[in-house]
Every structure is written in C-alpha cells, then in structure tokens.
Structure 1
Amino acid sequence: MPKRIDRNARRNELLDAAVRVFAQKGFAASRVEDVATEAGTGKGTVYLYFASRDAILRAVFDSYAERTSAALKSLPPGPPLERLAELIRATITALAQHRDHAAVLLDLWRASPGLDMASVYRDHRAAIVSLLDEARVRDEIRTGIDDRHAAVIVGALEGSLIQWLVDPEIDLEQLANPIIAVCVEGIRT
C-alpha cells in the first residue's frame, strides 16, 4: 500500500526547507532546486505545492504573517503595559530561537517582491496602539505618548533584530529588557 502523505505537513516541510535555503543564500540567489535538495525531494514535488520560487516566498511570508497575527491575538490578560512588555519579550524570544526565519524576514524587507509588508507593520502597530489606548484610559502612561510610539517600538525591535543578524557580539535575547525599559517603563506614569 502506498504511503499516504499529509499534504499540509509536507507543505510545511517544504516551507521550512525554503526558509533554510533563503537564509543561507538569500532569496535572489536561491532556486527551486535548492529548496528541493534541502527538503530531500525532487523539484517536481516542490512544484506540486508551489507554482514558482516567488510563490514559495509568498507562502513563507503568509505563514509568518499568520503566526504573528495569532501571537498578537493570544496576549495574556492583564494590565496593558504588562501585556506590551510580554509582547516585546515574546517577539524577541521567537526571533532569537529561529535565526533562519529572522534572516529571511530581513531578506523579505529588503526584496519584498510584491509582498504587502506595510500590512504586517500596520497589524503590529495596531496591536501596540490598542495596548497604549488601554493604558491611556487607565492613566498608566505619560501625557504626550500617542500612537506614533507604536512605530518607535516596532523600530526598536526591528533595529535590534538587524544588529543581531549582522553583529555576532549582539545577543538578541539580552536586548528584551532594555527595550522594555525604554519603550514600556519609559512611558509609564
């Protein structure tokens, strides 16, 4: 009897292989054949799941966007600034545990061939703005802190990520507390 393959599991294996290849070679230098080799399969199998290399990249991007959206929605209950600190900590931890994914994200930001990166940034900022609004209603943040602070927080996370990827002396996980000190504790009343 032929072995049944779980299509979703196989698709995810191919995406994981693509992330490793894109992280090692960069998207521009990667080929579908490279993804197939990394996944231990033929390129025909890759084409059963994805029409092109760009389709693979889009699927990686969509997967990242879905995971990010789910993480934002699953913040634990509690005071808004504590939840914001937890969001920062969880983001840093997730990126630090998946350096390949982080490297691909950097490549996506650089190349972004038809990908809606602005939408991802808007989702990130909207989640942070929601927490800031809650904190404002509870009179927990200083006067003058507005929605633009969300872009500052996203920028602090992204800037730390880039430095970690290019400088081996940077320990990303060690940056969570300083980011929280500046971006959360620095706005508290």
Structure 2
Amino acid sequence: MRSAATKKPDRAELRREEILDASERIFAQKGYHATGIADIANDLGIGHGTFYRYFKNKHDIALHVFDRLMLRFAEIGLSEDPESSNTLEEYRTQTSRILMRWLALGESQPHVLRFFHEQSMVVDTERLARVIDSYVDHIARFLQNGVDKGFLRAGLDVRATAEMLVALILDGTRRTLSMPDVEARKRWADAGMALMFDGVRAR
C-alpha cells in the first residue's frame, strides 16, 4: 500500500500546478493588468470553467503565484544556517552560495525574477513588504552571528546593514534581468560580495 509520504499527486493537483505554471509565465511576459483569464486558459487549452474550479479570479491566482515564488526564494536562503559560520571566510562562502543559487534560478527560470521585480508590487504591496521584512530578519541573523563571534566588526548596526544588503540584492537581481550573459551576472555578484565584505569585516 502506498504511504501518504509517497502518494502521487492526483489529476486535480496536477491540473492546478499546470495552471499556476502557465500563470506565472504569462504574468511575467504580459504583466498582471494585461493578462486575462482567457490568456491562461488558451495557453493550456482549457475552458474558463476549468480555471474557476481551481481559482476564484485573476487576483486569487496571482496571489498563489506570488506565494509559490516566494517559497522558492525562501528555500534558497533557508538552506544556509545563519549561525554555522565561525570565520569571515566561511560567511563569505555561505553568502556566495546563496547569491549563486539566486542567479541560477534566474538563469533557469527567468520569468520567476521578472514576476517578482515587475509584478509582485502590483499584485499585493503589503504581502511583498512582509516578505522583504522576513528576508531582512534572516540576513540580520547572519550578521549578528558574525558580530557575536568577532569576525564582523563590533558595533555594527545589524538591522540597518541587513536592510541595505537586501536592497543591494534585490536591485542587483533586478539588473541581472537585462544582463546579456552568465559572465556579466557573475561580475555583478563578485562586485557585490567585495563591497559587502570589505565594509563589514572586523578590522
């Protein structure tokens, strides 16, 4: 007998995921306001009635797309333990891994970053603000760990620095959408890393 842990998704769950996949791609391509239910339904070859069996309206599915994308971003950051680094070099390596995962996501699924940067504020400003605040909280834990262990400078304003780093990351990933190749994106990541670690390390 198949256990709950290995249960395959049923047809309804698969259809729901197909609708979400198509919606996040079309929202990213056309924009939230320019996208209609017909665009999503036509892309999948389904009727409007099928769409409404899974989602109430366009805003409802946009919120589900937003939440699903935020989960992908969260998984990147949460894959690293904020308190595991004991040296500046270990923290640098952690940060590099996080940035590289962000860039890899943007390369493999460019519509994900495009939706985040161009549509998420349109969909729900307050939801986006809460997500950004949670990113700040998480990065602040990395910084506080460094201050406590002495490899980041004493007296560092952890909260303000975390806010600045999130702003740098968000604007940087937005800029990568127009960068022509992987090498250009890597140069941005390297420059950001140098700026960050030259600024916060203990002296």
Bin of the TM-score, shorter chain as denominator length:
0.7 to 0.9
2:160 corresponds, among 141, 148, 156, to 148
TM, length-normalised to structure 1: 0.85
| Inter-CA distance 88–186: structure 2 relative to 1 (3 Å threshold) | farther
Contact 1:58 1:115 survives alignment (8 Å): no
Gaps of 5+ in 1: none
Contact 1:85 1:184 survives alignment (8 Å): no
**Structure 1 residue ranges (4+ consecutive) displaced by more than 3 angstroms after TM superposition:** 112-115, 166-171
CA distance in 1: counterparts of 2:21 and 2:187, whole angstroms: 26
Gaps of 5+ in 2: 1-8
Contact 1:96 1:172 survives alignment (8 Å): no
CA distance in 1: counterparts of 2:185 and 2:13, whole angstroms: 32
Where does residue 190 of structure 2 map in the other structure? Answer: 177
TM, length-normalised to structure 2: 0.80
Contact 2:32 2:123 survives alignment (8 Å): no
Where does residue 67 of structure 1 map in the other structure? Answer: 72
How big is the shift at 1:49?
Answer: 1.0
Q: Classify the secondary structure of the residue corresponding to 2:177.
A: helix
Contact 2:25 2:111 survives alignment (8 Å): yes
How big is the shift at 1:18?
Answer: 0.6
CA distance in 2: counterparts of 1:155 and 1:36, whole angstroms: 36
Where does residue 199 of structure 2 map in the other structure? Answer: 186
CA RMSD of aligned residues (A): 2.4
Where does residue 24 of structure 2 map in the other structure? Answer: 19
Q: How many residues align?
A: 186
CA distance in 1: counterparts of 2:76 and 2:14, whole angstroms: 21
2:176 corresponds, among 164, 167, 172, to 164
Where does residue 54 of structure 2 map in the other structure? Answer: 49
Q: Classify the secondary structure of the residue corresponding to 1:49.
A: coil
How big is the shift at 1:21?
Answer: 0.7
